[in-house]
């Protein structure tokens, strides 16, 4: 008995593959992305519980990410909870969850009786756990169900690895869809809070006086930008470093997270560093422009963004890139990063 074999056209196969996400989070497992990955899964868990109306009405919980190298030290604390993500009805208030992987698949829970000083009790236990682990800086989230808020204390800082950076998230917020106008506004807001000045969230300068940016500045900006988007559009609305036939795009906002006439959307991030010549900067951004157009064709994108973060001493948009972007239908956003708080004022006076 003969059996027919369906042969797929290679172009069709590549197109299908380019739309298949490589994992269920915008962030990869391990390395510097682990903190964002953990936070993304945690936020997604709360959003799904909100959707089925099982979020606690009151109380406080702590969620602590335990890196693999420290897991043995907490194996006797509390009781085991497998796959927290699958359990949408578990009581959360008055508990500390020790999350042994960033996707919430393996956890241990320490429970406390309800009391008027619940936060103090949980915080005291958290400090004990930190001492047990040798004062290792732990990524942790404090969730206050009374006001529907989650405080994430990130430890990702190349300037000061011992510091924490708090991000406050409204877990009661409904997921949105972005238009180009909303995305552009979001991008400028991100710049104001994360990259514009030395004291902003990302602490982008390694040596301010020498106009030296931190290592991997481009990757750090793209990761934090993606993370901030996930808080609004949801974990499944955004992909980072997604593959396509032309390579990997920095960031994709999927169709369901954009208004129909503007999605999907592809974004390419570029950083200009002090010391690079004008010709080198033009070449670098021209390559970025080609990349975002190619990546957009892989995804049948309706919106294309070239995101440029300028850390040079002499700041300003590149006329050639602005003209090329206009001709190609690409939104070119140019963000000036100042190495001193007074730098912005001086730049404005010169203009």
Q: What domains does the chain contain, in order, with CATH numbers?
A: 31-170 (no CATH), 180-350 (3.40.1350)
Instruction: Say what percent of the chain tops pLDDT 70.
Output: 83
Q: Does the CA dihedral 33-35-36-37 come out positive or negative?
A: positive
Residue 17: what pLDDT?
42
Residue 248: what pLDDT?
58
- Asked if 278 and 319 touch (Cβ cutoff 8 Å), the reply is no
No. of helices (H) and no. of strands (E), the chain:
8, 14
Residue 345: what pLDDT?
54
Tokens of 43: 């936020």
Strand ranges in the chain using DSSP code E only, listed in sequence order: 60-65, 79-82, 95-99, 106-111, 140-144, 149-154, 165-170, 205-207, 212-213, 238-244, 247-253, 265-273, 303-311, 331-336
Helix (H) or strand (E) holding 232: helix 217-233
Residues 269, 181: Cα–Cα separation, whole Å: 18
Residue 298: what pLDDT?
85
Residue 337: what pLDDT?
95
Residue 244: what pLDDT?
45
Tokens of 311: 């850390």
Q: Express each pLDDT in 164-193 by its tens digit.
A: 678 888 888 877 899 999 999 999 999 999
- The residues of the chain scoring below 70 in pLDDT are 1-25, 28-32, 135, 155-164, 241-249, 343-351
| Three-state SS at 165 | strand
Number of Cβ within 10 Å of residue 259's Cβ equals: 16
Q: What is the pTM of this model?
A: 0.80
Residues 225, 55: Cα–Cα separation, whole Å: 27
Residue 23: what pLDDT?
44
Q: Which of 104, 106, 108, 110 is nearest to 123 (CA)?
A: 110
CA-to-CA separations, 342 to 21, 209, 314, 337, 348, in angstroms, rounded: 43, 13, 15, 12, 10
């Amino acid at each position: 008995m003969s059996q027919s074999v369906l042969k797929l056209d290679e172009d069709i196969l590549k197109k299908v593959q380019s739309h298949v996400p490589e994992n269920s989070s915008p962030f990869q497992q391990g390395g510097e992305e682990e903190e964002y990955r953990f936070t993304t899964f945690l936020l997604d868990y709360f959003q799904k519980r909100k959707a089925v109306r099982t979020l606690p009405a009151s109380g406080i919980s702590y969620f602590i990410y335990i890196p693999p190298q420290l897991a043995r030290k907490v194996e006797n604390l509390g009781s085991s909870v497998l796959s927290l993500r699958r359990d949408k009805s578990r009581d959360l208030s008055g508990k500390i969850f020790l999350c042994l992987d960033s996707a919430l698949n393996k956890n241990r829970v320490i429970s406390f009786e309800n009391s008027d000083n619940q936060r103090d009790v949980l915080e005291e236990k958290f400090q004990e756990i930190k001492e047990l682990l040798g004062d290792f800086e732990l990524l942790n989230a404090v969730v206050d169900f009374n006001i529907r808020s989650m405080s994430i204390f990130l430890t990702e800082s190349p300037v000061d690895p011992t510091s924490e950076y708090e991000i406050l998230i409204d877990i009661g917020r409904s997921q949105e869809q972005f238009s180009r106008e909303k995305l552009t506004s979001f991008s400028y807001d991100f710049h104001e809070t994360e990259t514009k000045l030395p004291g902003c969230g990302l602490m982008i300068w390694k040596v301010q006086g020498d106009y030296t940016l931190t290592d991997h500045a481009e990757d750090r900006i793209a990761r934090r930008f993606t993370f901030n988007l996930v808080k609004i559009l949801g974990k499944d609305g955004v992909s980072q470093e997604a593959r396509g036939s032309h390579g990997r795009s920095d960031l994709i906002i999927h169709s369901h997270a954009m208004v129909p006439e503007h999605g999907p959307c592809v974004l390419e991030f570029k950083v200009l560093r002090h010391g690079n010549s004008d010709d080198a900067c033009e070449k670098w951004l021209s390559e970025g422009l080609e990349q975002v157009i190619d990546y957009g064709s892989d995804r049948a994108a309706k919106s294309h963004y070239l995101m440029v973060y300028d850390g040079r001493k002499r700041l300003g948009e590149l006329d050639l890139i602005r003209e090329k972007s206009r001709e190609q239908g690409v939104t070119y956003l140019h963000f000036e990063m100042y190495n001193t708080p007074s730098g912005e004022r001086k730049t404005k006076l010169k203009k």
